[in-house]
Each structure stands twice: as structure tokens, then as C-alpha cells.
């Protein structure tokens, strides 16, 4: 009986402490709620409305009807028009679009031939039998996007033909860039850089100020002439070298073990990685100025890490998410770095060609440093 009373006393004490710790209680409720919403609502492997472009070399009414027919599938959404294939491939490299439909000048003749061969009429030559109606040029670095576009390869064109066609020749030719073998490792390894850096960089710095407070060093820092911004910079600079080491390990082993190519320049890779490391470190510092103890800092790190994994495009395609989830994803540094690292490593893109993601990470870093410095100064008061 006495043992039960003692257990009840400890139980009451823990319950009272949990009630007082609003941050922990909020995480107990919010983490499962957010996971449920992310997995049930935002995560969607059935990709629709993929942004694509078109190079219409025919410029006829038939080519416009072909575009409308493809759009009706809702698999893709035509957002851009390009003059030539070279311009289109540049747009794919900079992630402006995920694929481009190239409609040849003789699309009308190809459609007629497509029907006549399917109905059993003898072709004029072997070359004519192998010609598809048009060609898809696809960013193959994302295997899910590539698979969705490839599903249109044998798309029927009954609306454009007077009679149904039964043939083995595909309607569209599909050319996969950057990952023609469709190896998953090529897509996963660069994205893994973003996730591991998010996890470690935020975790390292999220407890930085909290640790000083718990060890009793905060009072000493108050009496020193060190400014808030100087303290913040001093906290993040050592971890930048740790982040750089992690990038070398991941990409180096990825290249040796999984044969993942590193096509981009070293300076482009170093610049984009440095931007993301500093952005993640400053986010950790902001968390550190909010949390009251290391337990809370860990909980808040997990709170940021889960959406970064699920919404950044690392596992699930960004295009498959609802619009509301995409807005949330755009606020996360990991989303912008996943685009940058895949562009630099796989597509040999220069940072200037992905200026939006570069500017966003830079602005996020400056804003994070400002907020962390102001909050630390507030704590001193």
C-alpha cells in the first residue's frame, strides 16, 4: 500500500511538471498531429500537374489540340513555351520545368502515319515506322517524376484520329536526362546531404544558448564585451567545417559505392552548401534562444526536422503536394537546398541559374542571425 502511495506521489509530481511545461505539452500534441496531416494530406505519390514546357516546331492547330489532349490527362501542366530544344534543356537544368514536349514540324504526317501503320497499311520505309508523334525530354534525376511522364509514352490519341489505332510503336519518344538508367541512388544521395545537414546543424546549435544557461556561463557572457551578433557568429562558424566534412563524406562515398556522379563545379557546390549550412545553423540558434532547456530544444528540432524530410522533395515529389503544403515547404531551407544540390551535382547548374533559391537561403540566414541576436539581447535584459 505504501509503495502504491509513493508511486502515486511521483505520478502526480510528473503530471504537475508536465502541465507547467507548456512547450513539452504542446509538442506531445503537435508532433503526432502534424505527422498525421503530412502523411494523410500533403504526401501524395500520385503526381499530377507536373510543370512542363513545350517546343512547338509545327505551330499548327493540330499541335495545339495535341497539347490540350495531353493537358486533359492532368499528369502535366504546360507552363512555358520555348523557341528551340537548347533553350528547353537549359530550362530543365535550372528546374524551371521538369520536362519539355518537342512537337516536330511534320506532326500532321506523323499522326497520319501513326494511324495507317496501326491499321495494318504497309509503311513507306522502316524509318517511318519508328517515328513517334512527338518527343518528351525529361529530367530523369527524379525517378517519380520521370515515371509519371513515361506513363504518357503509349498515350492513345483517339481524339486526333478518325479511327482507333492498335499498334506497338509508342506514341511519344521519351528521353531521360541526367539519370537515364533511373537509379534511385542518383536521386537519393544528393537529397540526403540536405537531410543530414538539417538534422546535425540544427541539433548542434539549437542547444547552444541553452547549454550556456544550464552550465551557468550565461552570466559570464553578459559581463564580457562580446556583442550578440559576435556571439551568434562565433557559435556557428566551427560547425560550418563539420558540415563541410559531412558533405565530403556523403558525396564521396555516394560516388565510390553507388556511382552517383558529381557533375557540378567545386566552387558551385561549396557556395550552395555554405549557404544552406549557415541557414540551418542560424535556425538552430533561433530555437536555442526560445527553448528553456535542452529537452525543449530537442523537441523543437524534431518539430522542424519532420517537415523538412517530408516536404522538401527529398522523398516525395514537390509537385505532388497540395498548394497549401507547397507554401509550407517554401519556408523550409531544406526545400531550396534540395533543388540546389541536385541541380549542381546532377545537372551541372550554376548558382546564378537558380537565383531564387540562392537569394532565399541568403535572406533566411541574415534574418535568422538578426532574430537570434535580438532575442539573446532580450534575454540579457
Residue pLDDT, tens place only, 83-97: 999 999 999 999 899
More confident residue, 83 or 233: 83
25 or 104, greater pLDDT: 104
pTM of the model: 0.82
Which position has the grid cell 506497338? 168
pLDDT of residue 213: 74
Identify the band that residue 298 occupies on the pLDDT scale cut at 50, 70 and 90.
Answer: confident
The sheet carrying 99-103 orders its strands as 76-81, 50-56, 99-103, 134-139, 172-177
Position 128 scores a pLDDT of: 45
Radius of gyration of the chain (CA): 27
pLDDT score, position 129: 52
Is the pLDDT at 192 greater than 80? The verdict is yes
Comparing 380 with 88, the larger pLDDT belongs to 88
Architecture of domain 50-177: 3-Layer(aba) Sandwich (3.40)
User: What is the average per-residue pLDDT within 225-241?
Assistant: 82
How far apart are the C-alpha atoms of 291 and 31, rounded to whole Å?
16
Q: CB-based contacts of 323: which residues, under 8 Å, 6+ apart?
A: none
Task: Out of 5-9, 78-82, 175-179, pick the least confident.
Answer: 5-9
Between residues 191 and 319, the one the model is more confident about: 191
Q: Which three cell numbers stand for residue 89?
A: 534543356
Range name among 209-213, 234-238, 342-346 with the lowest pLDDT average: 209-213
pLDDT of 5 > 70? The answer is yes
Q: Output the pLDDT for position 170.
A: 82
> Average pLDDT, whole number, for the chain?
84
- Give the residue-averaged pLDDT of 50-74: 92
What's the mean pLDDT in 256-270? 92
- From-to residues of CATH 3.40.1710 in the chain: 50-177
pLDDT exceeds cutoff 70 at 159: no
Residue-level pLDDT at 68 = 92
* pLDDT (tens digit per residue) in 301-338: 888 888 898 889 888 888 878 888 889 899 999 999 99
**pLDDT average, residue stretch 121-135:** 61
pLDDT level of residue 295 (50, 70, 90 thresholds): confident
- Percent of the chain exceeding pLDDT 70 equals 83
Instruction: Choose between 200 and 26: higher pLDDT.
Output: 200
Amino acid at each position: 500500500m505504501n509503495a502504491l502511495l509513493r508511486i502515486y506521489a511521483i505520478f502526480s509530481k510528473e503530471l504537475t511538471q508536465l502541465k507547467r511545461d507548456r512547450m513539452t505539452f504542446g509538442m506531445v500534441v503537435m508532433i503526432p498531429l502534424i505527422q498525421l496531416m503530412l502523411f494523410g494530406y500533403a504526401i501524395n505519390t500520385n503526381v499530377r500537374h507536373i510543370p512542363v514546357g513545350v517546343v512547338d516546331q509545327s505551330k499548327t492547330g493540330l499541335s495545339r489540340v495535341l497539347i490540350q489532349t495531353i493537358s486533359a490527362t492532368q499528369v502535366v501542366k504546360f507552363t512555358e513555351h520555348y523557341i528551340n530544344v537548347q533553350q528547353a534543356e537549359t530550362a530543365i537544368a535550372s528546374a524551371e520545368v521538369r520536362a519539355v514536349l518537342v512537337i516536330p514540324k511534320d506532326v500532321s504526317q506523323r499522326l497520319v502515319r501513326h494511324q495507317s501503320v496501326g491499321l495494318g497499311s504497309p509503311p513507306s520505309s522502316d524509318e517511318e515506322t519508328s517515328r513517334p508523334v512527338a518527343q518528351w525530354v525529361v529530367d530523369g534525376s527524379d525517378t517519380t517524376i520521370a515515371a509519371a511522364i513515361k506513363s504518357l509514352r503509349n498515350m492513345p490519341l483517339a481524339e486526333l484520329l478518325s479511327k482507333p489505332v492498335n499498334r506497338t510503336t509508342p506514341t511519344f519518344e521519351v528521353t531521360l536526362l541526367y539519370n537515364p538508367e533511373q537509379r534511385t541512388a542518383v536521386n537519393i544521395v544528393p537529397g540526403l546531404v540536405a537531410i543530414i545537414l538539417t538534422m546535425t546543424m540544427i541539433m548542434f546549435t539549437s542547444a547552444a544558448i541553452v547549454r550556456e544557461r544550464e552550465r551557468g556561463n550565461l552570466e559570464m557572457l553578459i559581463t564580457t564585451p562580446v556583442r550578440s551578433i559576435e556571439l551568434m557568429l562565433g557559435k556557428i562558424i566551427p560547425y560550418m567545417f563539420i558540415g563541410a566534412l559531412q558533405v565530403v563524406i556523403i558525396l564521396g562515398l555516394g560516388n565510390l559505392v553507388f556511382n552517383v556522379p558529381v557533375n557540378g563545379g567545386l566552387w558551385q557546390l561549396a557556395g550552395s552548401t555554405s549557404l544552406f549550412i549557415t541557414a540551418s545553423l542560424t535556425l538552430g540558434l533561433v530555437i536555442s534562444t526560445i527553448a528553456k532547456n535542452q529537452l525543449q530544444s530537442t523537441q523543437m528540432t524534431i518539430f522542424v526536422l519532420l517537415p523538412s524530410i517530408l516536404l522538401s522533395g527529398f522523398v516525395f515529389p514537390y509537385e505532388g503536394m497540395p498548394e497549401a503544403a507547397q507554401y509550407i515547404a517554401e519556408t523550409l531551407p531544406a526545400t531550396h537546398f534540395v533543388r540546389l544540390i541536385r541541380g549542381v551535382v546532377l545537372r551541372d547548374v550554376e548558382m546564378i541559374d537558380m537565383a531564387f533559391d540562392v537569394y532565399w537561403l541568403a535572406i533566411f540566414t541574415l534574418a535568422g542571425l538578426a532574430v537570434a541576436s535580438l532575442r539573446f539581447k532580450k534575454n540579457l535584459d
